């Protein structure tokens, strides 16, 4: 009989919730009634054969990626055999892959009730609960998995991720430290531990861990960039992979974190700036949202735009933005190449919280000027650098001096028509100070 994949996830990034993947093959020639020992002796042989056939079909569909059809087949079986632990388990895999994490958790929970001694079932139950933001129950599932398999590094790692994503960084640090004592080469834990020490302000420890991570993986983009930030090096821009992976990782709960937890309001303030200059009746026939993320700017500016384009380096962010149906065109791209290759000029360009991931702004300003119609507006935000020029902060983001913005704008064909100091979002209990800008193409 074909095997089913025990689905777990995902890549290691700047602040990852990475998980490892596993496979657990089902016996290739085991009869169905042995796999699912819940048949009554009174059930007829033809019932067994019929359900066996559906099960084989379900697993084949599952492995082919026909998840909806596989799920329906598994569902037919558990409707007749509610105690079929293997089928509940496989149904949970399908539901998880379809991002129905609440349903997946219910299926894995039922499988765990029926087969409480299987660590993989508890492991995947924890994963589904964590993805559903049910961190307390996810923690209990991982602890149960650890009781059954105490030397399993993947389980311990995911317990740490559960604490990290659940807003308990100190607990996560303790778990990752324990894991690295047992398994010093477990690089995802090394990455997460470095990130958490960085977040908690333990910069010396974070620096040491980033160096260890780079010794193991010299090409690790997040470690390279964050180590440069902690060492105060003037790196003009972060690695492309770092930015892409960072926002891919945050895409699912990006708006919840920004809007609800951090009080993010830059798109709305930029909208007010544009309307305040041009008036309520202003209309921009071709607008572009640079670094569109999940589409907050698109939703905010849609009323001002005829045709609205959104571009972002993160494919997952673009997927979320597409679901809002506020853009006429979306593309996964770097900012400068896209602007340089644009054939029709834009009359409104918006970049909310994007320039904080660029040091030297001259290339972007030049490309934007080349893609802008005469009189076009360019609205954006920056974090404020009280020194000269730009600086890479320990956070890994860039700050820019007002004088530097003004000089680069003038040198690339832009006129500053509005400038406003503003709190951008809450950070560490305080408002992060920055600047809102409105430039006009000369």
Q: Is position 360 within any domain?
A: yes
Q: Tens of pLDDT along 228-281?
A: 999 988 888 888 887 887 777 765 655 566 655 667 889 999 999 999 998 777
Confidence of residue 155 (pLDDT cuts 50, 70, 90): very high
> Residue 103: which CATH number?
1.25.40.10
Distance separating alpha carbons of residues 406 and 388, to the nearest angstrom: 12
Tell me: do 411 and 313 sit in the same domain: yes
Instruction: Say if strands 372-384 and 346-351 run parallel, antiparallel, or are unpaired.
Output: parallel
For residue 400, give its domain range.
250-441
For every residue of 359-412, DSSP letters joined together read S--HHHHHHHHHTEEEEEEEEEEEEE-SSSSEEE-TTS-EEE-HHHHHHHHHHT
Token pair recorded at residue 180: 């690295």
Phi-psi category of 396—alpha, beta or left, where left has phi over 0 and alpha has psi -120 to 50? left
Helix (H, G, I), strand (E, B) or coil at 240: helix
Q: Is position 131 within any domain?
A: yes
Q: What CA–CA distances, in Å, run from 127 to 95, 98, 241? A: 12, 14, 26
Confidence of residue 23 (pLDDT cuts 50, 70, 90): very low
Distance separating alpha carbons of residues 27 and 144, to the nearest angstrom: 25
Tell me: do 150 and 260 sit in the same domain: no
Distance separating alpha carbons of residues 412 and 430, to the nearest angstrom: 34
Q: Tell me which residue has tokens 């089928």.
A: 87
Distance separating alpha carbons of residues 350 and 283, to the nearest angstrom: 14
Q: What is the arithmetic mean of pLDDT over 208-237?
A: 91
Distance separating alpha carbons of residues 352 and 257, to the nearest angstrom: 16
Q: What CA–CA distances, in Å, run from 122 to 6, 146, 242? A: 12, 9, 32
Helix (H, G, I), strand (E, B) or coil at 290: strand
Q: Is position 134 within any domain?
A: yes
pTM: 0.77
Structural domain total, the chain:
2
> Residue 397: which CATH number?
3.40.50.150
Distance separating alpha carbons of residues 336 and 212, to the nearest angstrom: 34
Containing 269, the helix (H) or strand (E) segment is helix 266-278
Q: Tens of pLDDT along 157-167?
A: 999 999 998 88
Q: Is the peptide bond before 295 cis (omega within 30 degrees of 0)?
A: no
Tell me: do 257 and 159 sit in the same domain: no
Tell me: do 408 and 281 sit in the same domain: yes
The pLDDT of residue 393 is above 80: yes
**Widest pairwise Cα distance in the chain:** 87
């Amino acid at each position: 009989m074909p095997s089913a994949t025990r689905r777990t996830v995902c890549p290691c990034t700047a602040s990852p919730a990475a998980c490892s993947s596993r496979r657990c093959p089902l016996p290739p020639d085991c009869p169905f009634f042995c796999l699912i020992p819940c048949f009554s002796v009174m059930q007829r042989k033809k019932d067994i054969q019929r359900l066996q056939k559906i099960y084989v079909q379900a697993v084949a569909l599952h492995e082919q990626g026909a998840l909806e059809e596989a799920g329906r087949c598994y569902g037919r079986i558990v409707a007749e055999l509610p105690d079929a632990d293997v089928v509940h388990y496989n149904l949970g895999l399908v539901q998880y892959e379809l991002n129905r994490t609440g349903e997946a958790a219910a299926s894995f929970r039922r499988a765990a009730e029926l087969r409480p001694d299987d660590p993989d079932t508890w492991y995947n139950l924890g994963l589904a609960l964590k993805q559903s933001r049910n961190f307390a129950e996810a923690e209990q599932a991982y602890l149960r998995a650890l009781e059954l398999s105490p030397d399993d590094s993947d389980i311990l790692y995911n317990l740490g991720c559960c604490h990290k994503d659940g807003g308990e960084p100190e607990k996560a640090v303790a778990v990752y430290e324990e894991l690295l004592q047992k398994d010093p080469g477990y690089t995802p834990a090394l990455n997460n531990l470095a990130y958490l020490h960085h977040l908690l302000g333990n910069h010396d420890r974070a620096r040491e861990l980033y160096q260890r991570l780079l010794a193991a993986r010299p090409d690790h983009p997040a470690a390279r960039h964050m180590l440069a930030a902690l060492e105060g090096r003037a790196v003009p821009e972060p690695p492309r992979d770092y930015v892409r992976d960072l926002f891919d990782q945050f895409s699912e709960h990006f708006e919840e974190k920004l809007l609800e937890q951090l009080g993010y309001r830059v798109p709305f303030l930029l909208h007010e700036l544009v309307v305040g200059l041009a008036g309520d009746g202003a209309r921009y026939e071709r607008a572009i949202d640079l670094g569109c993320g999940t589409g907050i700017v698109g939703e905010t500016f849609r009323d001002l735009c005829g045709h609205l384009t959104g571009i972002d380096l993160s494919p997952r962010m673009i997927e979320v933005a597409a679901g809002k149906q506020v853009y006429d065109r979306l593309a996964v791209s770097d900012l400068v190449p896209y602007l340089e290759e644009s054939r029709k000029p834009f009359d409104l360009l918006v970049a909310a919280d994007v320039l904080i991931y660029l040091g030297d702004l001259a290339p972007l300003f030049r490309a934007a000027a080349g893609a802008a119609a005469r009189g076009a507006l360019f609205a954006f935000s920056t974090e404020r650098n009280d020194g000269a020029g730009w600086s890479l902060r320990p956070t890994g983001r860039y700050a820019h001096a007002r004088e530097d913005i003004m000089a680069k704008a003038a040198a690339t064909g832009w006129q500053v028509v509005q400038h406003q100091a503003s709190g951008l979002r809450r950070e560490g209990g305080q408002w992060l100070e920055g600047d809102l800008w409105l430039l006009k193409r000369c």
